[in-house]
Structures are given as structure tokens and as C-alpha cells.
Structure 1
Amino acid sequence: MKKHVVLYKSLSPALLAQLEAATEVTYIEDPKSPEGQARLLQALPSAHGLLGASLRVGDELLALAPQLEVVASVSVGVDKYDLAAFKRRGVTLTHTPNVLTDTTADTGFALLMATARRVVELAAKVRAGQWKESVGPSEFGTDVHHKTLGIVGMGRIGQALAQRGHFGFDMPVLYHTHSAKPEVDARFGARHCSLDELLRESDFVCLTVPLTAATEGLIGARELGLMKPGAILVNIARGPVLDEAALIDALRGGRLRGAGLDVFSQEPVAPDSPLLTMANVVPTPHIGSATHETREAMAACAVENLLAGLRGEVPPDRVVL
């Protein structure tokens, strides 16, 4: 008898066919809607596997799925999962850490460039018919090349950002993480330093750390106050890593030149957030991995992880518990 999988993320026809060939699939289009929640509650008792994203999974949900073996998340971040609960119940959690690295780093560098050169702000003026003469100093941006790039977190995405900055724009690279990485130092001419030193010396500060108890609120008013006047902040980590109220104050006060934000403390971002009315903020709707190629690769990775786990194998991308 095939094992039962609850799918709460749409898959391409090819991937869905692969999953259906090996398992019995219950598809729930929106598990957060009243109808979706009812269907999820009905399906969980017989579920051996879950596959999807953006659903919080902890003790309460796991208790409703006594046969559950594997949860395959279509994401790299695992902040929506109670890892201790998974460990207690012997349920395997997998994620997709490798296939979105370059795409997310591209997004981070796009935000850095767009903010530095005021691309979105000035494009809006052109569209509005307000381009009447050559731009003057009040509309100038700032150079990116040869400026100092500070990366908070030096995992896969941080290293991909360092590669773009060092090789593409001749940027000195500083980074802050638990410990120095000699291979990163050698490859990118990078220097490991304290967070305070990074903030004081960097022209561009990019946040790439995962959301954990240690990183929540990592960048607040004190940290923003250490940044160079005129520096630019880019967040492609998670919204709660950054104190948004403190960022708004720093931008309003003119201390920071601007911010490129792909993540927010509340998503979707509140429509009355002051960040949305600031010309020097480039906000995007959490698009770090949002390309056709990458999202398909993430889904394929999740399917592979799920099926391997249901076969009793160690999935390629099991989260270490």
C-alpha cells in the first residue's frame, strides 16, 4: 500500500506525477483558509509525509499526525519548525539549502545596486513624466565598486554575495559569523571581524543570517547607530532579524542613505508601513528565490527528500536535529 502524503504547495505536472507514482497524495491548495484547515485536520491522522512551505509545524500539529515520518519543506529556512518537537517525536525534517543560493544572492545584490543608484525612485519619475532635464546632485546615487561590503552571516548565500562583490566590483569584504573561515578569507580577500567593527567600517551591510533566538533583533537602534553615515542596509535574511522601527528612525534621521528589503517583520508588509513611503527604500515581496528555474529546483529537491525519507533512507537534505 502506498504511503499517504499531504501536499500543500502546487507542483509542476512532472513533479506531481513523480509524487503520485510513489504515494497517495492529498492536495490542499491553501492550508490556512478555513476550508484548507478543515481538510488538513481530516488528512493528518493518516499522513506519512508532508510537503510544502509557510506552514508552522510544532507539537500541536505533529500530535495530530501519529503516523508522520517526514516533513519536506520547500525552503532553506527552518524557523517555522519546532526542531525540538520533531526530535521528540522522531519525525524527519528536510529543507532545500543548495538550489537557491545563487538566485538569492542575485536578489541581494540587485537590492544593493538599486538602492545605491536610486533605480526605483528615479524610474518612477521617468514613468510619471517628471524627467525634464539632466539629473543634478540632488538625484545622484553612490558608487558600489571599490566600496566595503559587510556581510552578516557567511553561509552559502553570504559567500555567494562575497563572490559577486569581490570579483565583480572589487569590493573589500568584511564578514561576521561565529568564527573565521580561512577558505573565505583566502578566496575573497575577506576579513572576519566583530559585528560592531563590520557596522562601523562597511559602506553596504547585507544581512544573510538564519532567524534563530540568537539572531532575532540582532540589528537594532544601537547597531544602526554604529553604521557609517550614508551607508546602505540590505536584508535578505528574515524580517525579525532587523528592528524595523529603529530602521525607520535611522532613515528618517538621514543617518542611512537607504535600505533594500526583501523581508519584513510582518509579511505581507502592512500597507501603512512608513517603509513603503520612503523613496530611499527598495521593498520587494520576499522574492529571494522567486524565479521559475529556482522554484522548480526547490520543489524537485523537496520531492526527492520526501520520497527518500519515506523509503527509509537518509534524505539528502535532512535538517540536523
Structure 2
Amino acid sequence: MALSKPRVLVTRYVPYIFEQLERAHVDVDVFERDDVAIPREELLRRVQACDGILCMLTDQIDHEVLASAGSKLKVVSTMSVGYNHISVDECRAKGIAIGFTPGVLDTSTAETAIALTFMAKRHAMASVNSAKNGEWGVWQPFQYCGSDVEGSTVGIVGLGRIGAKYAQIMKTAFNCRILYTGPKEKPEVAEPLRAQFCSLNELLGESDIVSVHCPLTTSTRHLFNADTFPLMKSSAVFINTSRGPVVNQDALYDALVAKQLAAAGLDVTDPEPLPVDNKLFTLPNCTIFPHIGSATIKTRQAMADIAIQNVLAGIYNKPLPHAV
């Protein structure tokens, strides 16, 4: 009698992932759509008796899902570097391995932060809208003028892999002075960048550009709020490519309207997608990307490959290449 194949639930239809798992002789149950997240009731039903789950950042793998999956579940592999959507403690208590995709999206996400930096510093969104709305007119010496990136003081909140890559680009390409803050000093990362460690308040007071790269934890939730934004220079710009809930968006809106800071660029929001009637969209000095930090073909392909490797290792009781 032939042994049954291990069963993996894939929560979004990605042809490449489906094909690779089928070639690995896995019984694949894949949610049929690629344009929406798997509905909660579908997830709870289809996860039953699975050996593995390959999920996306939008899927909450919590107590209810783990209970529905039952005792067969061996691994949860997410196609993301973040894993706040997974109940890590409960997975560990149940002996369920967790895989994620670190390292491969550092450059693409740092590049996204660079793009937002220039959008904010050079008033790019307001300028584009002005041209589209027929407001271009005759050349005026100080129309559309932003501020220079070169030589700026850049404050990095979270000098991890992505924050360090952003800092490296800003240092080498634009001769920026680098400050950083976080739970502890990181001399091995900071020294090549000549980055100076300081408190958050010092960083906010001295930086022309504040770029956020910290994880979402209980201590970083709403780290940027009505108390912290007023500490920034009125000429400074605020960039967030980390997690939306790190920012109190009402406080950010108020700070931008009050001109406590010059502009903001966000690749992440709370919630996602951000409703089209959100008041941040009304501000000419706020640029919002639809969470495209890792959105290059090369990066997403690498993320898919790692997610596949993780789930296959887990269902066969092998060490995950990239385990949380």
C-alpha cells in the first residue's frame, strides 16, 4: 500500500509555487485566486489535516487556525520577512517550525526607501499632480523647489539588514551623515558607515531624514506619535518602510498639517490596503506606496524559492533553511 503524500495548503494562487510543490510530489491544496486573501472560513476549513502551510503576510495564522489544523501540522512557511501574523509562541509550544524569507529583500526594500526619500525631499508627488492638473505654467525660479539629499543627516531607526543597506547607499552615494538608534549599539554594522548611536530623541532633533526600519513589537507600536513628531525638524522628512502600526497615522496627519515636519513617504500603512478616503491621501506632502518594498521580480522569485524550501524541509522533518 502506497504511503499518502504530505499535504500542503498554499493560501494564494502563485503558479510557480504550485508547480514546484507538485514536482516535489506534494499533495497541494491551493486557494484559487491571486488577487484576494484567502477568506477566513476557507482558511479554517482547508487547513485541517495539513502537514504544512505556505502563507502570505496577509494571513493570520493564530490559535484558531492552528487548532483547526490539528496535530499533523509540522511547519508554517511565510513568503515574507515579517512574521507578526503568525502566533510564534504557540507554534513553538506545539513543535511547529516557522520559516520566513530574510536577506533577499534587503536591497529592494532599501531602494524603495530611497525612492520615497526623493519623493519627499523633492516634492515629487505634488509636482507630478501640478503638471497633470495644468498648473505648470511659466518657469518660476522657486516653483517646485525641494531640499537636497546630498549631505543630509540621516537618522536610521533600526539598523538591521535593510536599515544598514539604506544607510550604506545614503552614505556612499550622497555623502550623508548617519545616525542610528535601537535597543542596543551595533558597532560591527555601524563602524563601516561611520554611523553614530544616539537616543531616539537626539536622532529626531538632528536628522534631516528619518527612515524607519525597525520590527513591529509591543515597544515599537505607535513609536511615532503626537509626542515624537514635534521633536523633528520642521524641514525634515519621515520615511517608513517597516510596518504600518509603528506609526500613529492620526498623529502623522496632524504633524504634516501643522508643518511640524516637511513631508512623509510611506510604503506601509495601518490598515493595508489603506482606504481611499483616508485623510493622508489628501495631503500633497505625503506619498503613499501600496507596500511595494520587495516588489521586484528577482526579489519575489527568491522569496518564493525560500518559502518553498522551508515548507518542504518542514514537512519532511528536516531543519528549515531559514527558520524563525
**How many Å apart are 1:130 and its aligned residue?**
2.2
Match of 2:61 among 57, 61, 72: 57
Aligned residue identity for 1:63: A
Task: Between 29-38 and 161-170, report the one with greater CA deviation.
Answer: 29-38
CA distance in 2, matches of 1:36, 1:151: 37
CA distance in 2, matches of 1:50, 1:261: 30
Q: TM-score, normalised by structure 1?
A: 0.94
Task: State the partner residue of 1:226.
Answer: 231
Q: Write out aligned runs for 1:173-212 (5 A).
A: 173-212=178-217
Aligned residue identity for 2:130: K
Task: State the partner residue of 1:3.
Answer: 6
Match of 2:112 among 91, 98, 107: 107
* 1:76-101 alpha-carbon deviations (Å, 9 max, x no partner): 11111111111121111111011111
**How many Å apart are 1:18 and its aligned residue?**
2.0
**How many Å apart are 1:238 and its aligned residue?**
0.8
CA distance in 1, matches of 2:37, 2:125: 38
Residue 290 (structure 1) aligned with residue 292 (structure 2)? no
Q: Write out aligned runs for 1:1-321 (5 A).
A: 1-13=4-16, 15-22=17-24, 23-29=26-32, 36-53=39-56, 54-66=58-70, 67-319=72-324
* 1:173-216 alpha-carbon deviations (Å, 9 max, x no partner): 00011111112222111011111111111000011111111110
Contact 1:104/1:288 (8 A) holds in 2:
yes
CA distance in 1, matches of 2:148, 2:197: 24
CA distance in 1, matches of 2:252, 2:234: 13
Aligned residue identity for 2:69: A
Aligned residue identity for 2:83: V
**How many Å apart are 1:59 and its aligned residue?**
1.1
Task: Give the direction of change, closer, same or farther, for the CA distance of 1:65–1:36 in structure 2 (3 Å limit).
Answer: same
**How many Å apart are 1:17 and its aligned residue?**
2.3
**How many Å apart are 1:6 and its aligned residue?**
0.3
CA distance in 2, matches of 1:20, 1:42: 21
Residue 233 of structure 1 aligns to a residue in which SS?
Answer: strand
Question: How many residue pairs were aligned?
Answer: 318
CA distance in 1, matches of 2:110, 2:189: 16
CA distance in 2, matches of 1:32, 1:65: 24
Contact 2:11/2:43 (8 A) holds in 1:
no
Q: Percent identity?
A: 37
Q: TM-score, normalised by structure 2?
A: 0.94
Contact 1:28/1:36 (8 A) holds in 2:
no
**How many Å apart are 1:123 and its aligned residue?**
1.7
**How many Å apart are 1:20 and its aligned residue?**
0.8
CA distance in 2, matches of 1:172, 1:35: 45
Contact 1:8/1:31 (8 A) holds in 2:
no
Task: Give the direction of change, closer, same or farther, for the CA distance of 1:43–1:266 in structure 2 (3 Å limit).
Answer: closer
Task: Give the direction of change, closer, same or farther, for the CA distance of 1:31–1:70 in structure 2 (3 Å limit).
Answer: farther
Task: Give the direction of change, closer, same or farther, for the CA distance of 1:236–1:191 in structure 2 (3 Å limit).
Answer: same
CA distance in 1, matches of 2:188, 2:274: 38
